[in-house]
Amino acid sequence: MRRSKISVIGAGNVGATCAHWAAVKELGDVVLFDIVEGMPQGKALDLAEAGPVEGFDGAFVGTNDYKDTKGSDVIVITSGMPRKPGMTREDLFEANKKIITQVVTVCVEHSPDAYIIMVTNPLDTMTYLAKHISKFPKQRVMGQAGVLDAARFRTFVSMELGVSVEDVQALVMGGHGDTMVPLPRYCTVSGIPLQELMPGDRIQALIDRTRDGGAEIVKLLKTGSAYYAPAASVIQMVEAIVRDKKRILPCSAYLEGEYGLDGIYFGVPCRLGKDGVEKVVELALNEEERELVRVSAAAVGKSIASLKL
Q: What percent of the chain has pLDDT over 70?
A: 97
pLDDT, the chain, mean: 95
> Which pTM does this prediction carry?
0.95
Average pLDDT, integer, range 258-280: 98
* CATH label, 146-305, candidates 3.30.230.70, 1.10.1740.110, 3.90.110.10, 3.20.20.150: 3.90.110.10
- The answer, yes or no, to whether residue 87 has pLDDT greater than 90, is no
Amino acid 1: pLDDT: 66
- The answer, yes or no, to whether residue 206 has pLDDT greater than 90, is yes
> Before 122, cis peptide (omega within 30)?
yes
Exactly one of 20, 110, 132, 176 is catalytic; name it.
176
- 255 forms beta bridges with 264
Amino acid 178: pLDDT: 84
> Do 5 and 71 form a contact (C-beta atoms < 8 A)?
yes
CATH class of 5-143: alpha beta
For the ranges 49-53, 81-85, 243-247, the lowest mean pLDDT is seen at 81-85
- The answer, yes or no, to whether residue 265 has pLDDT greater than 90, is yes
Average pLDDT, integer, range 79-94: 72
Average pLDDT, integer, range 84-111: 86
Annotation marks residue 176 as catalytic: yes
- The answer, yes or no, to whether residue 256 has pLDDT greater than 80, is yes
The residue extents of the domains of the chain are 5-143, 146-305
How does residue 216 score in pLDDT terms, banded at 50, 70 and 90? very high
More confident of the two residues 82 and 23 = 23
Amino acid 95: pLDDT: 84
